[in-house]
Structure 1
C-alpha cells in the first residue's frame, strides 16, 4: 500500500501533512515520493490567495491523471481549498474521491480507505476540533522542523480568510508542545521553528492563560544547542517580555518575524490592523536596542483597496527608514468572500505590480547593504544540501527556512568539511543581493 502526499502552501500546512503521514504510517501505509507508484494520493491544499487556489486546482488535476495512467485508485483532497469552497468544490472536481476540511485531518485513515460515511465532503467545524497531542510525524527533513503551537486566529483582518478556514485561536497545552520538542530534538533536529497563525498571541486562550515569553523560556531550557525560532508573530501581541526573553537565551534565534502589512494609517485601518506607523517604529527600535544583532522580517501588501500614490510613498519611506533584514511583498488578492472586496478604490493590477516591483527593487539594495556587514565575520551555519562536491547550501541563524536567502559554503580538498544536518562554523567571504558565501573553518 503505497501513498503519496503533496503538501501545498505554508509551513503550518506542512505540519498538517506530516501529521497525516504519521497517522498513515502507523496504519501500515508506505510513503512514496513518486505519485506514479501510489495507490492513494493525498493533496493538502492552500486557498489563502488567488495564486494559491490556482496552484491547488492545477496540482489536483495533474495528480488526477494517475487514476488513468498509473496505479492510483483513490484521490483525497484536504485542507483549506475544501474548507473555503465547501460542497461546490466537489461539483467542480469530480476526479476527487474525498474532500477533508481543516477540521478533519484526524480522519485521514478512513478517507484513504473509503470508510467515511456522510458523502464526499467531510467539513466539521474547526472550532470544535480539540488541539493537543500529535502522532509521530513523518517529517520531510531530519535536521529542521516546524512545531505548531496553536491553530486558528481570533483577529479580523479584512483581507484575510484564515479565521473562517481555521477557526478561532486554540493554543496547544504547553506540556504537549514541550513533549513534542523533546522528541524532535532527541531525533536530531537542529532547528525548531515555532508556527501558528498568530504565534506571539500564544496562550491567552488557555484555561490558565500563559504568555508566549513563558513558552519561549521553557523551550530554551530544554533545547540545548538546537536553534529555536518563531515565525508569524504579530505587532499587536509581541510584548517586551518576549523581546527580553529572546535577548536572554543564546539558543533563541534573534529573529523577529512580524508581518505589518502596511505603514499608512488609513490603509492599516481599512485592513483591520490596530496600530499606526509610529508604534511600529517604536517596536522595531526596542527590538534592535535590546537584542544584539536582531534580524527583523516583515511582509507587506501593496494594491490594497484605497491605497493611493501618497500611501505607497509613505510605505516606501517606511521601508527605507526601518531597513528590514528580510522583506516579502504581496500584491493584494481580491475575492468576493473577503470584507475588503466591498471597499471602494480598488487598485489596478498594473499599478499594484509597479508598486510591488519598486518595493522589491529597493529592498534588494537594502538587503545587499545589510549583508555586506557580514563579510569577514564567523557565523554558525546549518548545512542543508550539497549540490556538488565541495559546495554546500545552508542558513545562518538569521535566515529562516524557505523564505529568506541562503548561505553558500565552500570546502577545499583535504580541508575542513561540512556535514548535512549539522551546524558548521563558516567565515563569510562574499555576499549576493540576498545570499552569503563563505568557507568552513
Structure 2
C-alpha cells in the first residue's frame, strides 16, 4: 500500500525545526511518509509550523498560511493544519480570519496535532528521530520554555516556563542520532545554561556536554542560545577542556547600556557583560562568539546607541545579528513602556550596527588567509563544495568554499588552507 504523504513546512528557529521532526517521526511510525518544506510534493496534507516571535516572522507565517489556504480552496491539497508559536498566541483570530485551515494547534500541542493527523503520540521514539537537516548534523533540544521574562520577549507567554528534558533521554536521543550518521550536534534551548535547574535543583549543562562528548561517533558539539546572566563556570571549563566541543558560543547579549539592560530586564550589567566576554576569550582561546543585539527598544537614547556602537567596535564579535525592536502583545515592554523610537530610526540603527560588523568580519576574514582549518562538507553548489569550520553554525554563519575539481563527501571532515576572503565567506583548498 502506498504511504500517505504529509508535508510539514517549518518557519522560525531551530527549536521549531525539532518540533516538526518530532511530529513527523511519530507520523512515520504510523505509516505515513513525511516530506519537509516542499512546494513541489504531491502530499495532500500540509502542516505549517509557524513562528510568532517578532513582526517580520508573524508576517511570513501568515503569508505562508494564506498560500496553502488558497491551495486548499483550489483543491490542490485536502487537509491543512497550523501549529506553532503564532497559532499558540492568535488561534481564535486565525480561525476567524483564515477558516480554510482544518484546525489550529498551539506550540505546546505536539501530541494533539499528531492525534489530529490520525496517529498515536508516544513519548519515546524507539526508531530514532527523523531529521530534516542534512544527515550529518542535527539539533538537540534540551529544554522547552523560559523563566527569564525579558521585557521584549513573548516566549514565556507562548512556550511557558522552562522545562528540562531528562538527561538520560537526551543521551539516548543523541546516541540514536549518531547511529544514524549525525556527526555534529547543535545543543539548543531558549536558554541552554538554565538546563537541569528545574529537574535536579542545579544547573547541569556542563555535565550534559561532557556526557555528549563520550558518544563515539559525535565529533562536534555546538552550543546555542546561552543566557549571559549567571553563566555557569562549569560550562566554560567543559568548553576549554573537551576537544569535541566547538570553540563557538551563541550568546545573545541584546545591549550593553545599563539603562537599556535594566529596561529589558536582562538581569545583567554592562560590567558583568564585559567581564564575561573577557573570561570566555581568556578561558577558551580562539572562541568564536555569536551574539544578537536589539536596537530601538523603548527609551533607547542616542547615548545608549552610541555606547552600543562602541561596544561592537571594541569587542569585535566573530558573528553578530541585530534586530529592530518589535512590540509584542502581553510583554512587559508592551504593557509598561512606550514604543517611542521611530521605525525609521530603528532601521537606521540596525543598519549602522551591521555596517560596523561587516567591516569587522571582512578584516578578521582577511587575517585567516593562509590558516589551516578542519572543516565539514555540507553540500555541493555548482563549482564549489560548501563547508564549515568549528567556528560556524549551519544556516546562520560563514561558509567555506572549496573548488569542486575533485570528489568530496558530504558529512566528512577535511583539512583545508584558506586562500581567499570576503565579508562573510572564505575560500579554501584541500591541504
Q: Which residue of 1 aligns with 2:416?
A: 426
- Partners of 1:189 and 1:323 lie apart in 2 by 32
Give structure 1 stretches of 5+ with no counterpart.
117-128
Deviations 1:22-66 (A, max 9, x none): 111111112343455112100000000111111111001111222
The separation in 2 between residues aligned to 1:132 and 1:29, in whole angstroms, is 18
Per the TM alignment, residue 224 of structure 1 is displaced from its structure 2 partner at its CA by 4.8
Q: Secondary structure at the match of 2:94?
A: helix
Indicate yes or no: 2:9 matched with 1:23: no
Q: What does residue 173 of structure 1 align with? A: 166
Among 78, 83, 88, the alignment partner of 1:78 is 83
Find the aligned partners of 1:160 and 1:34 in 2 and give their Cα distance: 32
Task: Map Cα deviations across residues 227-272 of structure 1 (whole Å, 9 max, x no partner).
Answer: 0011000101422221111010111001111101000101110101
Secondary structure of the structure 1 residue equivalent to 2:215: helix
C-alpha separation in 2, matches of 1:315 and 1:345: 19
On the 8 A contact 1:228/1:252 being kept in 2, the answer is yes
**Partner secondary structure for residue 398 of structure 2:** coil
Mapped partners of 1:159, 1:47: distance in 2: 13
Return closer, same or farther for 1:345/1:87 CA change in 2, 3 Å cut-off: closer
Offset at 1:71? 4.0
Out of 19, 24, 44, the residue aligned to residue 39 of structure 1 is 44
Q: In 2 relative to 1, CA 108–336 (structure 1 residues): closer, same or farther, beyond 3 Å? A: closer
Residue 132 (structure 1) shift: 6.9
CA contact (8 A) 1:36 1:72 kept: no
Q: 1:203 aligns with which of 188, 196, 202?
A: 196
2:370 and 2:47 map into 1 onto residues whose CA distance is 47
Q: Over aligned residue pairs, what C-alpha RMSD do you find?
A: 1.9
Say which SS state the counterpart of residue 37 (structure 1) adopts.
coil
Residue 138 (structure 1) aligned with residue 136 (structure 2): no
* Residue-by-residue CA offset, 1:3-34 (whole Å, 9 max, x unaligned): 11100000000000011111111111123434
Which residue pairs with 2:16 in the alignment? Answer: 13
Measured in 1, the distance between the counterparts of 2:137 and 2:429 equals 22
Where structure 2 has 5 or more consecutive residues not aligned to the other structure, the ranges are none
User: What CA deviation, in whole Å up to 9, does each residue of 1:172-192 have, x standing for no partner?
Assistant: 110111111111111111210
Superposition map of 1:28-427 within 5 A: 28-32=31-35, 33-34=38-39, 37-113=42-118, 133-134=124-125, 136-140=128-132, 141-207=134-200, 209-224=202-217, 226-341=219-334, 342-344=336-338, 346-389=340-383, 391-412=384-405, 417-427=407-417
- 3-state DSSP class of the match of 1:253? strand
Q: Which moved more, 1:67-76 or 1:273-282?
A: 67-76
Cα deviations across residues 279-319 of structure 1 (Å, max 9, x unaligned)? 11111111111112111110000010100110000000111
Cα distance in 2, alignment partners of residues 27 and 71 from structure 1: 24
The CA distance in 1 between the partners of 2:292 and 2:203, in whole Å, is: 27
Shift of 1:407: 0.9
Structure 2: distance between partners of 1:382 and 1:176: 27
Post-superposition CA distance 1:382-441 (Å, at most 9, x none): 11111124x11111110011111111112435xxx4211211211111111011110122
Structure 2 residue aligned with 1:123: none
Write the distance in 2 (CA, Å) between the matches of 1:87 and 1:25: 30
1:137 Cα deviation after fit: 2.4
Partner SS state of residue 383, structure 1: strand
Is the 8 Å Cα contact of residues 382 and 394 (structure 1) preserved in structure 2? yes
**SS of structure 2 residue aligned to 1:206:** helix
Query: Does the CA-based 8 Å contact 1:35-1:41 persist in structure 2?
Result: no
TM-score for both structures, normalised by structure 1: 0.92
**TM-score normalized with structure 2 length:** 0.94
Following superposition, the deviation at residue 334 of structure 1 comes to: 1.3
The equivalent of 2:430 in structure 1 is: 440
2:198 alignment partner, SS class: coil
